[in-house]
Chains A and B, each alone.
Chain A
């Protein structure tokens, strides 16, 4: 899987929007961009994924650059419960094993 680069940590104030960046300059045409997060002492959980177009769901929005070399996960109003490690993961459509390759992620701290 192509490599992703994320900041180690970010801080946000509660109820403010948060933009979590991810660089993936070596992304291939068949790579989907997935985001997972891991709340403290829990297993990872899926957040959102996309290929080329921006995506929205109940948890977040995903903005994908036109050249697909970067993406941004947007939490519209951060809550204390959003404090977690956020992972940006590329997954090849043709990956038969379909494993997730986790990097270090971005640790998001939310201040009240």
Chain B
């Protein structure tokens, strides 16, 4: 069964450093998302991406964050200058349909645990 993959599974970085989290969505999907989950808290939406541009973003997704689809398979989340509060699990997701009622379930990857020291 096709699945979303994410690398690395765990990233440790120093405060102020740039990190890039990588995702490979399911191959025929067109819509891509990043979510994060701080330990013990809710899953929070960051950004959605379609047709090579951001469709929607949350307040969390400020100028320190960016997303890119550099080739036909990868979808990346970059944090330019990490802060302690960026420590969280970051989940990538993809779906093949936009409408909430169509069979457009979002498929989530296993996540990347980001630890900022």
Contact = CB atoms under 8 A, between A and B. Distances in A.
Contacts of B48: 97-99
Interface residues of A, number: 25
A82 to B, nearest CB: 17
A91 B111 CA distance: 23
B84 interface: no
Interface stretch (B65-73, B74-82, B92-100): B92-100
Contact of B91 (A32, A34, A43, A103): A43
The number of chain B residues touching the other chain, given as a range, is: 20 to 34
A45 interface: yes
A103 B107 contact: no
B101 A46 contact: no
B105 A46 contact: yes
B41 to A, nearest CB: 9
Interface in A12-38: 31-32, 34, 38
Given A87-B43, A91-B100, A99-B58, 6 more contacts: A43-B4, A45-B108, A97-B48, A98-B55, A100-B106, A103-B42
6 contacts: A43-B93, A51-B101, A98-B48, A98-B95, A99-B33, A102-B45
